Amino acid sequence: MDATILALQAVGGFTVGSLLGYALRKVSKWLFLAMGIFLIPVYGLWYLGILNVNWEALNVMFGKFLEWLGINIYEMTSTIASAGILGVSGVVGLIFGLSGGLFRGNVFNIENKKFVRRKKYEK
């Protein structure tokens, strides 16, 4: 395989993965905020005794979700492994985008760096 095609696939997979990770990170913030706003009144009504929550059924449902997630993660890893450099670089980019990428680190932290310094005039 040609090195330029391999490099383009790696860069393309990383770029698409990081953009998807960044978008997923932003959407998940709003989703968790909406879930929290929804669950605060439910918890308040449960605390006051107006609402009865079946915690055992909730625990069983959460256990089934974790079991489903474990099965699908195994299938996703085998799919990514068979996808080659595009899939692997896409997953690395997804993790990079979910972690905040370069914007959370000190790479683009320009608060303490001044490109133009103004002269201070003494009176």
Number of domains in the chain: 1
Residue 115 has pLDDT above 60, yes or no: no
- 79 is a domain residue: yes
How far apart (Å, rounded) are the C-alpha atoms in residues 93 and 99? 10
Cβ neighbours around 88 below 10 Å, total? 17
- 67 is a domain residue: yes
- 87 is a domain residue: yes
- 12 is a domain residue: no
- 13 is a domain residue: no
Q: Which one is predicted more confidently, 123 or 69?
A: 69
Q: Angle CA(119)–CA(121)–CA(123) in degrees, nearest 5? A: 175
pLDDT tens, 54-84? 889 988 998 998 888 787 777 777 777 777 8
- 11 is a domain residue: no
Domain range enclosing 28 = 18-98
